[in-house]
């Protein structure tokens, strides 16, 4: 392999890293907020039906199709093109980000749902006995326990979303994968280019996995002592 070529390619690919990280971080924040809303509305039968339908829709269809529907499909709707939303939805960045947020929310809501269900019912009863309000019970008992329960599954979702950002290259966004695709068209050296791109995603995935493992160890040190 040509070392000079590889260095040049890696440098070019890293120029797309800020966009990849931007989509990942904002997608996680937006998806997390929407996931909390989905879990909150499950308290009513109608809200539970809406949330269940939402989760089924976005977990049951490919992310790539969701990106295409938002980017290409919404632009074909006259009402959308004439509304105040059009200046945003005509931009590839916002369409890609919206698809990532909606998709992440479906998976994150199920992770949170399972985590809160894992909170022992006796903890809530004990909180009532000592006179805690519902907010205090949530903040001091339910949320900390659910957070520890959710971390392993949520770390996998973060990695999945990180890799999912590669699909926005199909709507002309120049993230790491978008730059890699352009470089292949220019050089016809697909193996070297995509191998470098894969190593960048692998390094990011390893970093995310390590960070979550560190946080999990800090939040639940007794579990790791028992494992020894």
Domain boundaries, the chain: 3-219
pTM of the model: 0.90
Q: How much is the pLDDT for 225?
A: 56
Q: How much is the pLDDT for 85?
A: 87
Q: How much is the pLDDT for 228?
A: 52
Q: How much is the pLDDT for 167?
A: 97
Q: How much is the pLDDT for 145?
A: 82
Q: How much is the pLDDT for 222?
A: 56
Q: How much is the pLDDT for 219?
A: 76
Fold of 3-219: MetI-like fold (1.10.3720)
- The residue ranges of the chain whose pLDDT is under 50 are none
**Any residues with CB less than 8 A from the CB of 75 and at least 6 apart, and which?**
81, 89, 90
Q: How much is the pLDDT for 166?
A: 97
Q: What is the phi/psi pair of residue 85, to 5°?
A: -80, -20
Q: How much is the pLDDT for 76?
A: 87
Report, in angstroms and rounded to the nearest whole number, the Rg of the chain calculated over CA atoms. 21
In this structure, are residues 92 and 172 in contact, taking their beta carbons and an 8 Å threshold?
yes
Q: How much is the pLDDT for 223?
A: 58
Question: What does the alpha-carbon distance between residue 80 and residue 97 come to, in Å, rounded to a whole number?
Answer: 18
């Amino acid at each position: 392999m040509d070392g000079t070529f590889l260095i040049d390619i890696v440098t070019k690919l890293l120029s797309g890293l800020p966009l990849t990280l931007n989509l990942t971080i904002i997608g996680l924040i937006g998806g997390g907020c929407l996931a909390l809303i989905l879990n909150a509305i499950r308290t009513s039968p109608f809200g539970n039906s809406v949330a269940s339908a939402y989760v089924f829709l976005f977990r049951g269809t490919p992310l790539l199709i969701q990106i295409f529907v938002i980017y290409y499909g919404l632009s074909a709707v006259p009402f959308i093109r004439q509304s105040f939303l059009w200046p945003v939805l005509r931009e590839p960045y916002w369409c890609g980000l919206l698809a990532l947020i909606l998709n992440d929310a479906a998976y994150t809501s199920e992770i949170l749902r399972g985590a809160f269900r894992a909170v022992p019912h006796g903890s809530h009863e004990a909180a009532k006995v000592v006179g805690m309000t519902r907010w205090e019970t949530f903040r001091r008992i339910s949320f900390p326990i659910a957070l520890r329960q959710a971390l392993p599954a949520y770390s996998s979702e973060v990695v999945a979303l990180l890799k999912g950002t590669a699909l926005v290259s199909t709507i002309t966004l120049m993230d790491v994968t978008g730059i890699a695709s352009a470089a292949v068209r220019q050089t016809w050296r697909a193996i070297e280019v995509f191998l470098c791109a894969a190593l960048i995603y692998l390094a990011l995935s390893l970093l995310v996995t390590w960070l979550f493992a560190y946080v999990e160890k800090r939040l639940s040190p007794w579990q790791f002592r028992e494992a020894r």
